[in-house]
């Protein structure tokens, strides 16, 4: 048996060495990159650190025109506009030459350098009839760092438990994800984790090989890669149609490797195969080797892509500035010209409200990342979109998720490497889109809307993950192919239904039931119009409640885009509870019918239209109106964010992430706080209008956190009246110090441009105006430090102190470090008895209570180190139920309330530009003045058209498109197919580095290669059988020859004789 075991082990070793494992890359595909490869694995396991920042270039402006004009015409328009200002002779300016492939063609913008531009000259330019907008030129920095993973070697594409990652927004976040798991589990693998991902190519895992065997390999589709370039003779690519350089470096080659990797995921033909090896690759080098780019470079490159009639464009870049108008406008123009743009959603997870532009636009396919076990990547940015805040609500993004961890792609010169990030997931979808486009016979049906419709309708939903994390789900290439090849032009909705009872997918809508008297629930639905680039809503959307399902218990109001362009628009649905359901509890259902019309492009009749009617099912849970003490109103209206202005972070220690850009919403960077309040039984609503626009008798507490906006005088008056009548107020403030604000302004050595903050962490002067009537005020002190309060560990992160408080109030003080002194003079000092918390009961009969705290970081998800949710609970107990926490009222840290005589109160920064972004202020000679108080939002409730039919019990099905039946879209019989391969250059490896020279795929590897494998195994088994039998025969021990047995009668005779003889010897007679 020992010999048999040795033989079997030898046989298996020979077999393993003779044939590669199915789905594994053979040794011939080893990475030859001059980059670290752990433990000599056959591909480098690298973590991609990606960072973006952008700065305004001094004296350079992008002048956008209303159309495309020649260079001579553009120069004449600018010259005539400046002459009209009357100071053309004194103003020194010139047009910056742009030497690139687009310079020979008409353009819609010009780059102008002014020696000293005045605001009047810029305004004069914009007054010209052919000039649309004048915006500063931006310099974009991108940092790509490939860092070998310190973990033990693992197969390429294997999932790792932890990795480090880097933010993709301007200025990285360094405080998140340290020492934590890299992936956010969905629940599918929470009980046990048995297998790692099989190390196969991502194209195979998504079953691109099924389409390859049908003859679809991306042929005839033009795909553009906007990145760092590509080497001319890279062995992985056979159909590079054009390489263009848009930078100021005189090279077309990739000096970083990122652009090569992205192109490889899309169109590599060997080793680490891409999705569409026969597609036409158009390489746009828009980043230098120093990882620098300019907005003008992108604009020229985008124009050239339109000129070249590009079909698919991958953009693995992004940032939070959705108000970079020239860039955003050009993206709209690209998609309007039928360019399908795919972009990474960002690497700023797990924080919510971190979507990057342009992936957050309706007309762009925004891609998030998952690992090979279908877990949402921790680094993948989360929704909602924050364009619509504070007055409305964000849209669902990302659109779709796919593999973005350990994905293999082409190395810079040859071989493969493995990278992670949403900039990796983006080319996966771009490659899939390119492959899908090549499968459609009528290419006129393929446009940005129809492709997105097919992707989201076919996506596989991941369990345990909400829609702001996964969008519509995981990319399913084969189902998308089936849908796209039976597609008829139509409109669709994203999301396709509204179910406020379905958790966790419909979070946050499902996290809180609705009730009479509450703020309307707003759902921002995207309309996708596959019929044409432009469209409109016919008449008005129709609200049809289901009477058997109590649909008449809810009211619905709908607002929508007047024009759907390009390819998309919005449908804002506001849901409220009817008065008759004030004490009712149950489920109510109905649907909204929307008809979309688009001009028929190929209709012979003038004015012909295509129409499509879609249904939006609605399902809500209604509960009786909660008591006033349980209702908390969050003030969203007075929160400002970046963009458009420079609003700094609340924690000055976060030097690498100085911008406040997450929306300050309870469903973005205050999500954990919201979840905590819901778990404590509170109902939290959002105020997206001035304080004059809500009924204070319905609410127990108004919660103001990190407010940057000013206040209308009417708001200050109404709030005083409301608090006298029983409303309570909680304010979490932040730092505000004009000296520190001047100190923390940015200075760019390259552009010599200063960025000055428009406010501090909070607008303390405005808050002081709001609470001054009660003798309260915050100071301009800036403090930080650790302390203990009521047996809880606390951290004060760049907060202010209370400068003035009523003498009969409760004030808590702590010893903290003077952070302002550290910022200004680099000196360290500890200040004793800093007042940080105040509680006050107003003297009026039945009046409310006020609580002040000088720091909001402890309830903000962005950079929170120690949460203070317990403190928020205590303050709500005080404001809602007049229960003063004994731990605070009898605290040893209680001090006499300050009178404010020690130091002057903070004043507004002179020369600040807050009025440019404020909803309250407007420009005025001298100091800015308040605008007139706007009217409160008024919803026009739709007239119900009840239907007496039963609603579906489960609204979640795969979003069906009209005229699409997957059962009727069967996959054709797979036939053998091998894409054409260019002849090998001297020194190159084999065609595909796979036995037989066949493109690796599920069909080839599991059918074509398994036949010789099984034949070889069968032969080995037969040979083993004979060897074992021969071994048994030779190893048997020798046996003695058996004796010849006597016949039975002889044995009996011998026995009888022996018995007689014995009896005679004993003297007995033998028995007869």
**289 burial class (0-12, 13-18, 19+ CB within 10 angstroms)?**
middle
986 secondary structure, DSSP code: T
The alpha carbons of the chain give a radius of gyration, in whole angstroms, of 36
List phi, psi (to 5°) of 835: -70, 120
Q: Using CA of residue 323, residue 328, residue 332, residue 338, what is the dihedral sign?
A: negative
DSSP string, 247-311: SSSS--S-SSSHHHHHHHHHH--SSS--S-TTSEEEEEE-S-TT-EEEHHHHHHHHHHHHHTT-S
904 secondary structure, DSSP code: P
Residues contacting residue 563 through CB under 8 Å, at least 6 positions apart: 534, 535, 536, 569
- Residue in the structure block whose two tokens are 């700094």: 648
List phi, psi (to 5°) of 932: -65, 140
Residues contacting residue 853 through CB under 8 Å, at least 6 positions apart: 730, 731, 732, 733, 836, 837, 838, 871, 875
Helix (H, G, I), strand (E, B) or coil at 887: helix
How crowded is residue 924: how many other Cβ atoms within 10 Å of its Cβ? 11
How crowded is residue 72: how many other Cβ atoms within 10 Å of its Cβ? 8
Residues contacting residue 904 through CB under 8 Å, at least 6 positions apart: none
Angle at CA of residue 978, ends 976 and 979, nearest 5°: 145
Instruction: Give the residue numbers marked as catalytic.
Output: 227, 258, 423
**762 burial class (0-12, 13-18, 19+ CB within 10 angstroms)?**
buried
Question: What gap in Å lies between CA 1057 and CA 674, rounded to an integer?
Answer: 110
How crowded is residue 1049: how many other Cβ atoms within 10 Å of its Cβ? 8
Helix (H, G, I), strand (E, B) or coil at 128: coil
Question: What gap in Å lies between CA 114 and CA 888, rounded to an integer?
Answer: 60
Question: What gap in Å lies between CA 588 and CA 180, rounded to an integer?
Answer: 42
- Strands 701-705 and 728-732, sheet pairing: parallel
Question: What gap in Å lies between CA 864 and CA 732, rounded to an integer?
Answer: 14
Contact between 887 and 827 (Cβ < 8 Å): no
Instruction: Look at residues 488, 494, 500, 451 and name the one whose alpha carbon lies nearest to residue 473.
Output: 494
Contact between 914 and 759 (Cβ < 8 Å): yes
Question: What gap in Å lies between CA 330 and CA 298, rounded to an integer?
Answer: 9
What is the length of the chain? 1072
Contact between 257 and 146 (Cβ < 8 Å): yes
**For the stretch 123-135, what's the b/e string if a residue is b when 16 or more beta carbons lie within 10 angstroms of its beta carbon?**
ebbeebeebbbbb
Contact between 286 and 301 (Cβ < 8 Å): yes
Question: What gap in Å lies between CA 32 and CA 413, rounded to an integer?
Answer: 8
């Amino acid at each position: 048996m020992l010999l048999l075991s040795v033989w079997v082990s030898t046989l298996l070793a020979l077999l393993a060495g003779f044939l590669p494992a199915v789905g594994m890359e053979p040794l011939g595909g080893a990475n030859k990159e001059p980059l670290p490869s752990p433990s000599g694995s056959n591909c480098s396991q690298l973590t991609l650190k990606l960072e973006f920042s952008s700065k305004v270039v001094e004296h350079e402006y992008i002048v956008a025109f209303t159309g495309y004009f020649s260079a001579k015409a553009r120069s004449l328009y600018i010259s005539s506009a400046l002459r009209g200002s009357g100071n053309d002779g004194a103003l020194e300016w010139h047009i910056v030459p742009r030497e690139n492939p687009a310079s020979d063609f008409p353009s819609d913008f010009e780059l102008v350098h002014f020696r000293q531009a005045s605001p009047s000259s810029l305004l004069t330019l914009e007054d010209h009839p052919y000039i649309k907008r004048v915006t500063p030129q931006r310099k974009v920095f991108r940092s790509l760092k490939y860092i070998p993973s310190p973990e033990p070697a693992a197969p390429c594409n294997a999932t790792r438990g932890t990795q480090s990652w880097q933010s993709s927004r301007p200025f990285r976040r360094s405080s998140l994800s340290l020492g934590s798991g890299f992936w956010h589990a969905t629940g599918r693998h929470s009980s046990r984790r048995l297998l790692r991902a099989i190390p196969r190519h991502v194209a195979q895992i998504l079953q691109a090989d099924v389409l390859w065997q049908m003859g679809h390999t991306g042929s005839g589709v033009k795909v553009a890669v906007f990145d760092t370039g590509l080497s001319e003779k890279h062995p992985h690519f056979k159909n590079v149609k054009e390489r263009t350089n848009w930078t100021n470096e005189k090279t077309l080659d990739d000096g970083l490797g990122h652009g090569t990797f992205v192109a490889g995921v899309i169109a590599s033909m060997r080793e680490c195969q891409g999705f569409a090896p026969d597609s036409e690759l158009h390489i746009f080098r828009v980043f230098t080797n120093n990882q620098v780019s300019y907005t003008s470079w992108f604009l020229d490159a985008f124009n050239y892509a339109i000129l070249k009639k590009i079909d698919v464009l991958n953009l693995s870049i992004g940032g939070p500035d959705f108000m970079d108008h020239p860039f955003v406008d050009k993206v709209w123009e690209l998609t309007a010209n039928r360019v399908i743009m795919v972009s990474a959603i960002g690497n700023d997870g797990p924080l919510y409200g971190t979507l990057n532009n342009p992936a957050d636009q309706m007309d762009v396919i925004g891609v998030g990342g998952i690992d090979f076990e279908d877990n949402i990547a921790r680094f993948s940015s989360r929704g909602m979109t924050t364009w619509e805040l504070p007055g409305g609500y964000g849209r669902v993004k990302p659109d779709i998720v796919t593999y973005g961890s350990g994905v293999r792609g082409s190395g810079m010169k040859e071989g493969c490497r493995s990278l992670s990030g949403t900039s990796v997931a983006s080319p996966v979808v771009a490659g899939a889109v390119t492959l899908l486009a090549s499968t459609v016979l009528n290419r006129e049906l393929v446009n940005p809307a129809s492709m997105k419709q097919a992707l989201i309708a076919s996506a596989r939903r991941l369990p345990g993950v909400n829609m702001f994390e996964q969008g519509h789900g995981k990319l399913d290439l084969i189902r998308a192919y089936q849908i796209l090849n039976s597609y008829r032009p139509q409109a669709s909705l994203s999301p396709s239904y509204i179910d406020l009872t379905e958790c966790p997918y419909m979070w946050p809508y499902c996290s809180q039931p609705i009730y009479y008297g509450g703020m309307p629930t707003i759902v921002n639905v995207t309309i996708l119009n596959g019929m044409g680039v432009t469209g409109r809503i016919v008449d008005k959307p129709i609200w049809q409640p289901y009477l058997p399902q109590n649909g008449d218990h809810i009211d619905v109001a709908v607002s929508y885009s007047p024009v759907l362009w390009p390819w998309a628009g919005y449908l804002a649905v506001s849901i409220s509870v009817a008065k008759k359901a004030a004490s009712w509890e149950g489920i109510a259902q109905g649907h909204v019918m929307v008809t979309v019309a688009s001009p028929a492009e190929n209709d012979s009749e003038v004015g012909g239209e295509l129409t499509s009617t879609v249904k939006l099912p609605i399902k809500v849970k209604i509960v009786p109106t909660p008591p006033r003490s349980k209702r908390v109103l969050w003030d969203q209206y007075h929160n400002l964010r970046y963009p458009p202005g420079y609003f700094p972070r609340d924690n000055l220690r976060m030097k690498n992430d100085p911008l406040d850009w997450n929306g300050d919403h309870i469903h973005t960077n205050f999500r954990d706080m919201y979840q905590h309040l819901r778990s404590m039984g509170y109902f939290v609503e959002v105020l997206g209008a001035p304080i004059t626009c809500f009924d204070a008798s319905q609410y127990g507490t108004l919660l103001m956190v990190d407010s940057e906006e000013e206040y209308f005088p009417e708001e200050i008056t109404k709030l005083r009246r409301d608090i006298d009548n029983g409303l309570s107020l909680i304010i979490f403030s932040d730092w505000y110090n004009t000296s520190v604000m001047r100190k923390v302004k940015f200075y760019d050595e390259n552009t010599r441009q200063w960025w000055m903050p428009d406010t501090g962490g909070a607008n303390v002067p405005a808050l002081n105006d709001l609470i001054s009537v009660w003798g309260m005020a915050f100071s301009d002190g800036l403090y930080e430090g650790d302390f203990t309060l009521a047996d809880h560990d606390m951290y004060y992160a760049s907060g202010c102190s209370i400068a003035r408080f009523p003498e009969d109030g409760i004030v808590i003080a702590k010893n903290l470090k003077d952070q302002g002194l550290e910022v200004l003079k680099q000196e360290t000092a500890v200040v004793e008895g800093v007042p940080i918390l105040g509680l006050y009961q107003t003297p009026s009969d039945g009046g409310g209570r006020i609580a002040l705290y000088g720091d909001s970081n402890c309830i903000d998800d962005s950079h929170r180190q120690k949460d203070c949710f317990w403190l928020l609970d205590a303050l709500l107990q005080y404001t809602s139920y007049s229960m003063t926490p004994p731990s605070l009222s009898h605290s040893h840290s209680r001090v006499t309330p300050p009178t404010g005589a020690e130091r002057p109160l903070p004043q507004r920064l002179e020369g600040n530009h807050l009025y440019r972004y404020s909803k309250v202020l407007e420009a005025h000679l001298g100091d800015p003045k308040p605008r007139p108080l706007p009217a409160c939002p008024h919803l026009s409730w739709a007239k119900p058209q009840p239907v007496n039919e039963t609603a579906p019990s489960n609204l979640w099905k795969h979003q069906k498109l009209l005229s699409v039946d997957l059962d009727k879209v069967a996959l054709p019989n797979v036939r053998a197919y091998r894409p054409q391969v260019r002849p090998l250059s001297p020194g190159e490896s084999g065609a595909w580095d796979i036995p037989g020279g066949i493109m690796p795929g599920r069909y080839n590897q599991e059918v074509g290669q398994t036949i010789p494998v099984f034949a070889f195994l069968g032969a080995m088994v037969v040979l083993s059988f004979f060897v074992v039998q021969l071994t048994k025969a030779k190893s048997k021990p020798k046996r003695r020859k058996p004796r010849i047995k006597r016949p039975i009668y002889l044995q009996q005779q011998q026995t009888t004789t022996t018995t007689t003889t014995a009896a005679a010897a004993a003297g007995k007679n033998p028995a007869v």
